[in-house]
Amino acid sequence: MKTTPTTFQSAFEEDVYKGLTSFPKYLLSKYIYDEKGDKLFQQIMAMPEYYLTNCELNILDKHKSAIAEIINKKGGFDLIELGAGDGKKTKVLLKELVEKEYNFNYLPIDISQNVLEELENSLKNEIPEVNVKIQQGTYFKTLENLADYSNRRKVILVLGSNIGNLLHENAIEFLRNIQEAMSAEDMLFMGFDQKKDPQKILDAYNDAAGITEAFNKNLLTRINRELDANFNPDNFTHWETYDPESGTAKSFLVSKENQKVAINKMDLEVSFDAWESIHTEISQKYDDAVVEWLAKEAGLEIQTSFQDNNEYYKNYIFRKKI
């Protein structure tokens, strides 16, 4: 293994170096989401095993009127969505807000410029009345500027249980960053996947069609393309675990053999033992007690929550604790 480069050309390069020279090895899941990764994730959301999308759609469709009334107040508001994706679920709420003629701007934020442009174009065709202003960037960088968007009330939207990609310590930091950007009048509307039958959870992240496997292996493909590496994705198997005690689902890529991988752009050679793993994703599951604890630690309090018909999933509305 070569010595640490003195400079990195990008955050991607630095994070790949740190992850693959650590023990145990890891890669950050946010880098799965390039153009190919975006398309694979949209396929995942349409899988029969991946219950999360339909559960949240059920909540938004069933409770859209009540949610709209709670988030609307005189003077209008900015609806700021972190990790907007293709906006499929958000459009249910946007249509309700437009139908009620509420005064709002929609500011979708995503790491993928490609996804944002597709969302902007689809909104122009489907709901042209929505005033949309796309914002490309990572959550934390963009959160620093949240308070400066306007003087209007903010409703911050985080759908898809994106917080589940963070360990509790990081989730509290994430929530605290949002809380610090909120005023007493602002709201946070966020989805949390609930604890349930462990097999149901495993199936959602290890589908029979192998789409989730391809999604995780897209990390290796991206490293090959952008950092001139020679990963052979077929030399790795995708493995999913779930711990019902902690509520933690984890995804791994496991090396099937002893192998060496060259990452030429960093002049780096990475060695893998047979059955050595790369941790690629975490998906945390929750119950009310854990969500309440996370909120309290971050200076937030639960105002109310909405649940799907199967009781698999919840969306909570939080306010800043005064």
Out of 3.40.50.150, 3.40.50.880, 3.30.365.10, 3.40.50.800, the CATH code matching 51-194+286-320 is 3.40.50.150
Q: Supply the mean pLDDT for the chain.
A: 92
Look up the pTM and report it.
Answer: 0.87
Give the pLDDT band (50/70/90) at residue 110.
confident
Q: Tell me if residue 292 falls in helix, strand or coil.
A: helix
What is the reported pLDDT for 2? 52
pLDDT tens, residue by residue, 57-103 = 999 999 999 999 999 977 899 999 998 878 889 999 999 999 999 99
Task: Work out the angle at residue 45's Cα, subtended by the Cα atoms of residues 40 and 51, and round it to the nearest 5 degrees.
Answer: 145
- The region of weakest confidence among 3-12, 19-28, 98-107, 232-241 is 3-12
Q: Which of 113-122, 136-145, 289-298 has the highest mean pLDDT?
A: 289-298
Domain boundaries, the chain: 11-32+211-284, 51-194+286-320
Residue-wise pLDDT tens digits, 21-57: 999 999 999 999 888 998 998 899 889 999 999 999 9
Q: So what's the pLDDT on residue 6?
A: 61
pLDDT of residue 201: 96
pLDDT above 90 as % of the chain: 79
Q: Is the dihedral of CA 177, 91, 152, 71 positive or negative?
A: negative
Q: SS3 for 77-88, per residue?
A: EEEEEECCCCCC
Cβ atoms of 159 and 191 closer than 8 Å = yes
Specify the length of the chain in residues. 322
pLDDT at 144: 67
